[in-house]
A and B are shown apart, each in its own frame.
Chain A
Amino acid sequence: MRDVYIVQSVRTPGCKQKKGLFNQTRPEELISFIMKSAVERTKNLEPEHLDDVMVGCAFPEAEQGLNIGRVASQMAGFPDKVSGATVNRFCASGIEAIALASMRVQMGWSDVTIGAGLESMSFVPMTGLNPRPHPEFSRTNPEMFISMGITAENVASRYNISREDQDIFAANSQAKAAKARDNGLFTEIVPTPATKYVKQEDGTYKKETFIVEHDDGIRVSSAEGLGKLRTVFSAAGSVTAGNSSQTTDGAAATIIASKEKCDELGLEPIAKFVSYTTIGCKSDEMGVGPLYAIPKVLEQAGLSIDDIDIFEINEAFASQALYCIRELGIEKVMDKINIHGGAIALGHPLGCTGAKLTATCLANLKEVNGRYGIVSMCIGGGMGAAAIFERL
């Protein structure tokens, strides 16, 4: 197999579902913009060098349907010959897309590909527009269709993750994100055009464009303040809107090339795609996914957890993120985990998340001058995914 290199990895800001700055921006615009930007920012790369595009999306329907992978490629202005596909592994769709794009290059089927991720939860909410659990299977196995919040409650109660610890974790995530934003450390963000429909004086509406530069969900809060929020999913639980990830709109793209193509075109590799894995777990505690995926991918790569300099572990919920961190024995190295905050502050745009965390991971590896980074997340339905990158 061939070595694959990442030559670019960027993301849009993440903006809150419905109330955020992207709430009127079509998902196709977010994804095509970030793919186009990724190409433009890559020295010596032209759109015609691309072979294929993989776009991860957790609910690829309606505005995100009609094979968004192909639509986005065309809207980005790529030549007809650049093919496109939509990839769905729920919350790991973005990293799955990068892995598939990488595999194509490793196999020699493609030379240059894009692995991307997208979700506009404003347009297509979680569960999609037409959820239809199977009538009989939902009777015998309702946990297959369980709400994510309940799985977070299950993790909290089964593994004794206290409300207080969750709130402290959440407050830290917000604080780290605010600090990174204020210090300009989100170097992976590309300021992104957004749309709004503005009422004119004569009562008609006009579509206007403006630029969004930052994640708009960061909200510095104390653990005490978060402690006052009411639980959402369970009457007597511990999971609140404050210690859960935000529902968010966003897109991210990573460009992958073979070593040969890098040499030929003069592309500058920033990292190597080392390994990737997924693993299943119980669906009613899907948040434990990273706990199994991370050791598995480390073993595949022949690395130890101590070799990792940057962890981007998706904060679907404080309860599951904290539990995984504790069980992996890395609570002692919190300065390597989600150093610029996680989804509690920055949002979890489902299918985008894996692609977004890859961009963040690579930026953060550069910031700390580290070598290995891990991107991992839990996945609805009961799964975990993890990928390892090596900065060059």
Chain B
Amino acid sequence: MIRKVRKAAVIGSGIMGGGIAALLAGAGVKVQLLDIVPFDLKDEEKNDPIARNRIVKSGLDAALGSYPSLFFNKKDAGLISIGNLDDDIEKLSECDWIIEVVVENLKIKRELFTKIEKVRKTGSIVTSNTSGIPLQDICQGFSKEFKEHFMGTHFFNPVRYMHLLELIPGADTLPEILEFIAAFGEKNLGKGIVWAKDTPNFVGNRIGVQGIGATMKTMTENDMTIPEIDAIFGPALGRPKTAIFKTTDLVGLDTMIHVLKNSYDLCPDDEQRDTHILPDFINKMAEKNLLGNKTGGGFYKTELTPEWKKIRKVLNPSTMEYEDLVRPSFPCIDDAKKKSTLKEKISCVLNGDDKGAKFAWKMAVNSFLYAANRIPEIADTIIEIDNSMKWGYNFEMGPFETWDAYGVKEAVERIEEDGFDVPANVKEMLAKGNTSFYKLENGIQYFYDFASGSYKKVPVSKNMVSIAAAKGNNKTVLENKSASLVDIGDDVFCLEFHSKMNALNLEIFEVFGEALDYVDKNGVGLVIGNEAGGMPGAFSAGADLGVVSKFCHDKKYAEIYAFLKDGHKSMQRAKYSPFPVVAAPYGLVLGGGCEVCLSADKMVAHSELYMGLVEIGVGLLPAGGGCMNLWKKYINALPAKTAKDIDLAKLFVPAFMKVGMAAVSGSAAQAQGNGFLGQADRIVFNRDNLIGEAKKEVLKMVDDGYVPPAKQGLIVMGDAGQGMVNAEIFNMLNGKFMSDYDAFLAKRIAYVMSGGDVRVGSLVDEDTILKLERDAFVDFCKEEKTIARIDHMLKTGKPLRN
């Protein structure tokens, strides 16, 4: 039998259930979403199907209304049918995978599984999304066949965005079931798999909340304030900007308390059990319903003045009053900001001698020791713990990686000096002369396996190709500060950007140009992709505005023109080169980054794709072929020869609006809807597989006998399109939906995208439109208001509407 998920059931329509249903639907799976019949039905409602489905309906509506959206595309909801557990339980017999996401109550879960066991079809998979209740307690007493198909699948909230999926095998789960769910989770749902054991709170939350508990406990002992803690445990240590307390406000304090209590109650032998007892002020917050964003205030609170100005406030734990937020600073954090790599930042913070640095070190010790002591209790390897913190808590490094960054030996010495015991497994590792938890040799990543006392290969999915690994294996063939060309095997090369936010600059174009020569001579095809960290991460945030700003202020218009011409040349060369070029965008793909992708032969895009031509926001227009190539994507989507006869306005207006209104997609599915991704482009759910899938695509195109596209004229809307845009812009101006300067920019953009002063339906050379792009860009650079927009963006990170 070849196992498939034709239809899945999600039982429980809360924020997790709704999120899982949305994710499955996004992956094209039909979903039966079920919840209970409301307890409080009036007599006349008892036979009303709408009333009986009220809970599940509102759950689905909440998922549809969520922001950021749990759905990739609201249309996906069409794959979800709703029902209730009394009337629709039989429908579970149609499902290949049944996921339980109901309230964390053993009795309720067992009752539900009893019902499920009666109707499920033999061989179907049943999983629980419990975050804390031991699976063995849930499935005790069920049939052997049921237990063989039962396991834990623990998603993280928000389901669409959190990469982590913890898989917990039951004692009797068949290996084929584990393998199937792992593969489905990885490939179809795009998740990072962590294998957890059936222990309380599994891996991510067990480690994660202990860290939070310990921090909260220690902060009161050390007289630290809430903003001080958040200043330390942010990006300087590779943690998300929301650090500890803003994260808790997002998740909800009640959830945090629940998970902490679960660890405390169910892990009586935990050596850090005390750290799960929260300080008094936290309990007071819970009593006062200060649970975070969902109750309008937690550790932080935003107040609005009558003038709609936001005032950020923070709780003072000693008075339980909110006070104006003053951002604290520590020398170690200020220094760390100046360092370029996370390793340097970590070292800077943990080795500092101010109050913040000392506190950071204390917490690092806690996290190192706690993690090391959890193996093999909660997971067999350090990889599971590091990955769960990276994927479930958005840390850039897990505890063992952080430990490596500091230096294992140095840390152990300092810990022992501080008077703490270092776990035996780590000491043994050092005693054998092994000084790091991970090492890279010949492009292969190894981890130290405590069980065998030796290094083992980090398991890699066969779909994954790692640029970092290739570089570690001396496969870099071209390189400067901002970009590299890396041999990723099978004569395929990868052009990797690695500037800040992967912003496009002169250095990148330098490597780009050379890369085309190199691949022409030595390769079969090129992937344009990178592996920058972060959630969602940035494939490329656009052109390096600092450079543009300098050119503008120095009035170096000829240089700007030459720079653009170089860019156009590279992009056109890539398009018409005799080998395939596949772009692998993910996350932020803005401005120039988007243009690089639009000019590729094909895109293999990650499902999380925030793609758009946003140049108008900084007073510019896409001048890396973006105006032309977006239009071309629209035209090329038409069946052969129909472009000649079609009302081009139906294409021109939406294509223009994408640029004129700086539309950015909220997902790859939306980028498809916006016309940036076409029929030939692919969407990949797992970002870890993106480079591998792009490479596969290159090889397939080569195998199919790749020939470059023929260079043809492009049919354009001409000045008829400009007339339409003039009229519409007049309305938007009058409606005060745009500024005069927006209108000025938009009209010129329409001029470029429509091919200039030419009759509707004319065939115009691509190079002509590219020239219009360059001319307009340089003209914009001469405008004071454009310069003001650029400088404002550089200074504040926000667009200026002048």
Residues of A within 8 A of B (CB): 129-135, 137-139, 142-143, 145-147, 149-150, 153-154, 233-237
Contact = CB atoms under 8 A, between A and B. Distances in A.
B731 A233 contact: yes
Given A142-B727, A142-B730, A233 B720 contact: no
B735 A150 contact: yes
A285 to B, nearest CB: 11
Interface residues of B, number: 17
B726 A135 contact: yes
A134 B647 CA distance: 16
Contact of B723 (A135, A146, A233): A135
Given A132-B720, A135-B722, A145-B730, 4 more contacts: A131-B727, A135-B726, A138-B726, A235-B735
What 3 A-B pairs come out closest when comparing CB atoms? A142-B730, A145-B727, A135-B719
Contact of A139 (B726, B731, B737): B726
A349 to B, nearest CB: 22
A131 B649 CA distance: 9
A215 B731 CA distance: 31
B724 interface: yes
Contacts of A135: 719-720, 722-723, 726
Contacts of B310: none
B724 A235 contact: no
B735 A153 contact: yes
A137 B649 CA distance: 18
B736 A236 contact: yes
Contacts of A145: 726-727, 730
Contacts of A143: 730
B726 A133 contact: yes
Contacts of B730: 138, 142-143, 145-146
B329 interface: no
Given A233-B735, A234-B735, A129 B720 contact: no
B734 interface: yes
A132 B724 contact: yes
Contacts of A235: 735-737
Nearest to B727: A145
A132 B735 contact: no
B734 A234 contact: yes
A286 to B, nearest CB: 13
Interface string B733-748: 0111100000000010
A318 to B, nearest CB: 18
8 contacts: A132-B724, A133-B723, A133-B727, A135-B719, A135-B723, A146-B731, A153-B734, A234-B736
A3 to B, nearest CB: 44
A59 to B, nearest CB: 15
Contacts of B720: 132, 135
Contacts of A139: 722, 726, 747
A133 B726 CA distance: 8
Contacts of A142: 726-727, 729-730
Nearest to A236: B736
A153 B734 CA distance: 9
A153 B737 CA distance: 14
Contacts of B649: 130-132
Nearest to A233: B735
A129 B653 CA distance: 13
A133 B717 CA distance: 13
Contacts of B737: 234-235
Contacts of A154: 734
A235 B732 CA distance: 9
A131 B734 contact: no
A150 B731 contact: yes
A232 B122 CA distance: 56
Nearest to A139: B726
B582 to A, nearest CB: 38
A142 B722 CA distance: 12
B649 to A, nearest CB: 7
Contacts of A131: 649, 724, 727
B722 A147 contact: no
B645 to A, nearest CB: 13
A134 B720 CA distance: 7
Nearest to B718: A135
Contacts of B722: 135, 138-139
Contacts of A233: 731, 734-735
A130 B735 CA distance: 23
Contacts of A132: 649, 720, 723-724
B647 A130 contact: yes
B199 to A, nearest CB: 53
Nearest to A239: B735
A176 B747 CA distance: 45
A142 B731 CA distance: 9
Contacts of A129: 647
A317 to B, nearest CB: 14
B735 A237 contact: yes
A367 to B, nearest CB: 40
Contacts of B727: 131, 133, 138, 142, 145-146
A237 to B, nearest CB: 7
Contacts of A138: 722-723, 726-727, 730
User: Looking at A142, A147, A233, which has the most chain B CB atoms within 10 Å of its CB?
Assistant: A142
Contacts of B719: 135
Contact of A147 (B726, B731, B747): B731
A154 B747 CA distance: 23
Given A129-B647, A130-B649, A146 B734 contact: yes
User: Looking at B722, B731, B736, which has the most chain A CB atoms within 10 Å of its CB?
Assistant: B731
Nearest to B719: A135
A145 B729 CA distance: 11
User: Looking at A129, A132, A137, A150, which has the most chain B CB atoms within 10 Å of its CB?
Assistant: A132
Interface in B234-279: none
Contacts of A234: 734-737
A137 B747 CA distance: 14
Nearest to A131: B724
A139 B724 CA distance: 10
A146 B747 CA distance: 16
Interface in B344-388: none
B726 to A, nearest CB: 4
B605 to A, nearest CB: 34
A154 B736 CA distance: 12
A145 B725 CA distance: 11
A147 B736 CA distance: 13
B518 to A, nearest CB: 46
Nearest to B736: A235
A112 B171 CA distance: 93
B740 to A, nearest CB: 13
Nearest to B760: A132
B415 to A, nearest CB: 60
A333 to B, nearest CB: 34
A135 B754 CA distance: 12
A129 B735 CA distance: 23
Contacts of B734: 146-147, 150, 153-154, 233-234
Interface in B106-129: none
Nearest to B757: A135
Contacts of A137: 723
Contacts of B747: 139
Contacts of A134: 723
A146 B724 CA distance: 11
B656 to A, nearest CB: 14
Contacts of B731: 146-147, 149-150, 233
Nearest to B743: A142
B730 to A, nearest CB: 4
A235 to B, nearest CB: 5
A143 B698 CA distance: 52
User: Looking at A135, A137, A146, which has the most chain B CB atoms within 10 Å of its CB?
Assistant: A135
